[in-house]
Chains A and B, each alone.
Chain A
Amino acid sequence: MAPEDSTLDPAVLAAGEARDSVESLIAGLAGVGYIASRRIATALFMALNLGKPILVEGPAGVGKTELAIASAGLLGLPLIRMQCYEGLDESKALYEWKYGKQLLYTQILKDHMGRALADAPDLGAAMEGLHGAGDLFFSEPFLEPRPLLTALRQPGGAVLLIDEIDKSDEAFEAFLLETLSAFQVSIPELGVIRAKTPPVVFLTSNNVRDLGDALKRRCLHLHIPLPDQALEERIVATRVPEVEAALRRQLVSFVQELRSRDLRKLPSISETVDWARALILLHVQALDAVVVRDTLNVLLKFEADIAAVEPQIGDLLTSGA
Chain B
Amino acid sequence: MQDGLEGFLRALRAHDVAVSPAEAIDAHRALAQIGFSSRTLLRDAFCVTLAKSAEEVERFETCFDLYYARDAFDLAHGPPQEAGRDEMGGPSAAFDLEASLEAGDEAALAAAMEASAARIGAGEIRLQSQRSLMTRRLLDDLGLRSLEARIAAGRGSESLADRIQAESLAGQRERLFARAGAFIERQAGLFAAQSARRMREQVLARKALTAVEPEDIRAMETLVRRMARKLASKYARRRRRARLGRLDVRHTLRRSLGYGGIPFEIVWRTRAVEKPKIAVMCDVSRSVAQAAQFLLLFLHCLNEVVERLDAFAFSDHAVAVSDVLREESVDDAIALILDRVGFRSTDYGRAFADVFELHGAKIDRRTTLIILGDGRTNYAEPRLDILRAIADRARSVIWLNPEPQTYWGQGDSKMDAYGRFCTVARTCNTLESLERIIEDVLRKYLPR
Contact = CB atoms under 8 A, between A and B. Distances in A.
Given A39-B44, A103-B264, A209-B233, A86 B238 contact: yes
A46 B34 CA distance: 9
Interface residues of A, number: 33
Contacts of A38: 40-41, 44
B266 interface: yes
A223 B242 CA distance: 33
A42 interface: yes
B20 A217 contact: yes
B353 to A, nearest CB: 37
A302 to B, nearest CB: 15
A49 interface: yes
B26 A209 contact: no
A169 interface: yes
Given A39-B44, A39-B48, A50-B30, 20 more contacts: A38-B44, A42-B45, A49-B33, A52-B26, A57-B54, A87-B238, A87-B240, A87-B241, A87-B242, A89-B242, A99-B264, A103-B264, A107-B262, A170-B238, A210-B229, A213-B18, A213-B52, A217-B52, A220-B48, A221-B51
6 contacts: A22-B41, A50-B29, A99-B266, A100-B264, A220-B49, A221-B57
Contact of B52 (A39, A46, A100, A216): A216
B241 A222 contact: no
Nearest to A54: B48
B53 interface: yes
A94 interface: no
B176 to A, nearest CB: 38
Interface residues of B, number: 33
A43 B44 contact: yes
A221 B41 contact: no
B22 interface: yes
Contacts of A103: 262-264
A217 B18 CA distance: 10
B47 interface: yes
B23 interface: yes
Interface of B: 18, 20, 22-23, 26, 29-30, 33, 40-41, 44-45, 47-49, 51-54, 56-57, 229, 233, 236, 238, 240-242, 244, 262-264, 266
B307 to A, nearest CB: 13
A107 B260 CA distance: 12
A223 B45 contact: no
A307 to B, nearest CB: 16
Contacts of B242: 87, 89
What does DSSP make chain A's interface, helix, strand, loop or mixed? helix
A62 to B, nearest CB: 12
A42 B31 CA distance: 12
B264 A221 contact: no
Given A209-B233, A223-B54, A223-B57, A50 B26 contact: yes
Contacts of A218: 22
Given A38-B44, A217-B23, A223-B54, A46 B264 contact: no
Contact of A221 (B33, B40, B52, B229): B52
Contacts of B45: 42, 45-46
B238 A39 contact: no
A107 B233 CA distance: 49
A88 to B, nearest CB: 10
Interface in A103-124: 103, 107
Nearest to A216: B52
B24 to A, nearest CB: 11
Nearest to B234: A210
Contacts of A89: 242, 244
Nearest to A215: B52
A210 B241 contact: no
A264 B45 CA distance: 33
Nearest to B47: A39
Contacts of B22: 217-218
Contacts of B264: 99-100, 103
Contact of A210 (B30, B233, B238): B233
B262 A46 contact: no
